[in-house]
A and B are shown apart, each in its own frame.
Chain A
């Protein structure tokens, strides 16, 4: 089956991408599969300057998932474009940069640096930073801020497609989706982690030094699926589904509700060859269930008549 997908200015050889922060810069996984086999690699979040990230402990295993509060530890955008990007097989696999900043101007500057790089296929915008100037509410929870940040990135992104990654920690995710679309986003990816927490009754301490952390993994898949379902019905721009995908069946569920592609995150930790295997498994399963093509299957969810 032809697994190629094109949307929002991106051309992918298949709908399998790896989610930011779960696949390093890609090279970490090269011993376990051919990076060129993937539809896309979203590199770990980049900031203008290097960041040390949060103190330890940073991760905790929870039922069917995990919590993380890494704090966007990264070597900075300059290091990425000079030291890492040249060694990635970007001519043969779409490499997306994930942008993390804490104000619109900084987002714009970051986008400017990355837009100049031939090896970057698109920009994914992480709007999870608490906006100190606006009372500490994350950009991703304020539709007006989402629109402003999207505009700032889009203005400096040149010809690069801009994808905004939405947070599920909001009352109505469709409002945020429309704000990103209004700001000029070419695509949306969702969901980012759910805000969560874990504590230890014996030590009487939080299990994560940052106290509050992001929940990911199979536990969040129903929430993610619901968000994608709502968003594809409320905006005209393409949507990439993320959240708890741990099998080909999970991935196809996101396509069924209307996602153009998927990102695999926590499942990369189940085993490091997971994403590579998923490419073949998705194609096999589509054939097995009698789908005629990706286009025929995508968004074909039969809803009960109202």
Chain B
């Protein structure tokens, strides 16, 4: 057991998700547990298959979707060469995994907590909901462009109050922004916690409303990463004083009023 490590582990299971709607795009990849002492929702891992040739030199960062004493699962969407090859892994293949990396989302069991997910940004919230002692205090809002079946929405909605909005047109987008504004305002007024993960424009919207309504909000940033351990300085963002800080080690979760992106 260790606090943080780099291990070669075997792929246990590769489960496609949402095949009817978007074949070959979303996958749950389950790996042998790398023997960590502990992990917290919001943290991430770097994954690089051992057999990868040197044409792709970096591992790929994925938030921890869920884990138990025997396995670790990441939820991935194919979006480039690296994720395509990771999706093509088969049980028994070996991957190097280093983690758990970065910090985690705030968890205040008694505080009303709003989870705002933009598309694949839903991934870390599966573990968050599983770990939350009082899921009755948690609510999920998912904004998505691809069909709902592609996301673990139902799994999360089985435990917490959840709703979702599909974006197909610019009118939909405005409705989503309005809904987010309403929700963030509501949670600001009741002194709750707002946690967000999604694409950059989505996070900027969260940051803007959090500032406007004075909400306590955290955003999880996902920059391109070379190393995941704070060394390459390729994933930096700016803190509120305008200084570059690594997303991988100082984040990926930042208080919305303490970061510029």
- A66 contacts B236, C-beta separation under 8 Å: no
C-beta contact mask, B1-36 vs A, less than 8 Å → 1, else 0?
011111000000000000000000000000000000
- Distance to closest chain A CB from B224 (angstroms): 7
Q: State which of B3, B58, B227 has its C-beta within 8 Å of the C-beta of A31.
A: B3
- A53 contacts B5, C-beta separation under 8 Å: no
- A271 contacts B98, C-beta separation under 8 Å: yes
Q: Which residues from A are CB-within-8-Å of B56?
A: 61
C-beta contact mask, B36-57 vs A, less than 8 Å → 1, else 0?
0000000000001000001111
Q: Does B232 contact A (CB under 8 A)?
A: yes
Q: Which residues from A are CB-within-8-Å of B3?
A: 31
- B231 contacts A59, C-beta separation under 8 Å: no
A52 to B238, CA, bound (A): 10
- A273 contacts B6, C-beta separation under 8 Å: yes
Q: Which residues from A are CB-within-8-Å of B231?
A: 22-24, 28-29, 44, 268-269
Question: Interface residue tally of chain B, by bracket?
Answer: 20 to 34
Give the secondary structure class of B's interface: loop
Q: Does A217 contact B (CB under 8 A)?
A: yes
- A271 contacts B6, C-beta separation under 8 Å: yes
Report the count of interface residues on A (CB-CB < 8 A).
34
C-beta contact mask, A48-71 vs B, less than 8 Å → 1, else 0?
000011001111010111101010
C-beta contact mask, A256-274 vs B, less than 8 Å → 1, else 0?
0000000000111111110
Q: Does A169 contact B (CB under 8 A)?
A: no
Q: Which residues from B are CB-within-8-Å of A268?
A: 227, 231
Q: Which residues from B are CB-within-8-Å of A267?
A: 57
C-beta contact mask, B221-237 vs A, less than 8 Å → 1, else 0?
00110111111111011
Q: Does B146 contact A (CB under 8 A)?
A: no
- B6 contacts A269, C-beta separation under 8 Å: no
Residue of B nearest to A29 (CB): B229
A56 to B232, CA, bound (A): 13
- B232 contacts A32, C-beta separation under 8 Å: no
Q: Which residues from A are CB-within-8-Å of B59?
A: 269-271
Residue of B nearest to A57 (CB): B224
A200 to B236, CA, bound (A): 21
Q: Does A179 contact B (CB under 8 A)?
A: no
- B233 contacts A31, C-beta separation under 8 Å: no
**Max chain B Cβ within 10 angstroms of own Cβ: one of A61, A66, A218, A273:** A61
- B227 contacts A70, C-beta separation under 8 Å: no
Q: State which of B48, B223, B236, B242 has its C-beta within 8 Å of the C-beta of A73.
A: B236
Q: Which residues from B are CB-within-8-Å of A270?
A: 48, 54, 57-59
- A22 contacts B6, C-beta separation under 8 Å: no
- B5 contacts A32, C-beta separation under 8 Å: yes
Q: Does B243 contact A (CB under 8 A)?
A: yes
Q: Does B77 contact A (CB under 8 A)?
A: no
Q: Does B96 contact A (CB under 8 A)?
A: yes
Q: State which of B5, B55, B230, B233 has its C-beta within 8 Å of the C-beta of A58.
A: B233
A270 to B226, CA, bound (A): 9
Q: State which of B4, B224, B232, B242 has its C-beta within 8 Å of the C-beta of A269.
A: B232
Q: Which residues from A are CB-within-8-Å of B55?
A: 63-64
Residue of A nearest to B230 (CB): A28
- B232 contacts A59, C-beta separation under 8 Å: yes
Q: In the complex where A28-B249, A266-B57 touch, is A68 in contact with B6 (Cβ < 8 A)? A: no
Q: In the complex where A28-B249, A272-B6, A273-B6 touch, is A66 in contact with B54 (Cβ < 8 A)? A: no
Q: Does B244 contact A (CB under 8 A)?
A: yes
Q: Does A246 contact B (CB under 8 A)?
A: yes
- B229 contacts A64, C-beta separation under 8 Å: no
Q: Which residues from B are CB-within-8-Å of A52?
A: 242-244
A–B pairs, 19, beta carbons within 8 Å = A21-B232, A21-B233, A28-B231, A28-B249, A31-B4, A32-B229, A44-B231, A52-B243, A53-B236, A59-B226, A61-B58, A68-B232, A217-B54, A267-B57, A269-B227, A270-B59, A271-B6, A271-B98, A272-B228
Please provide the 9 A-B residue pairs with the shortest distance between their CB atoms, ordered closest to farther: A59-B234, A24-B231, A31-B4, A218-B54, A269-B227, A273-B6, A28-B230, A271-B96, A70-B233
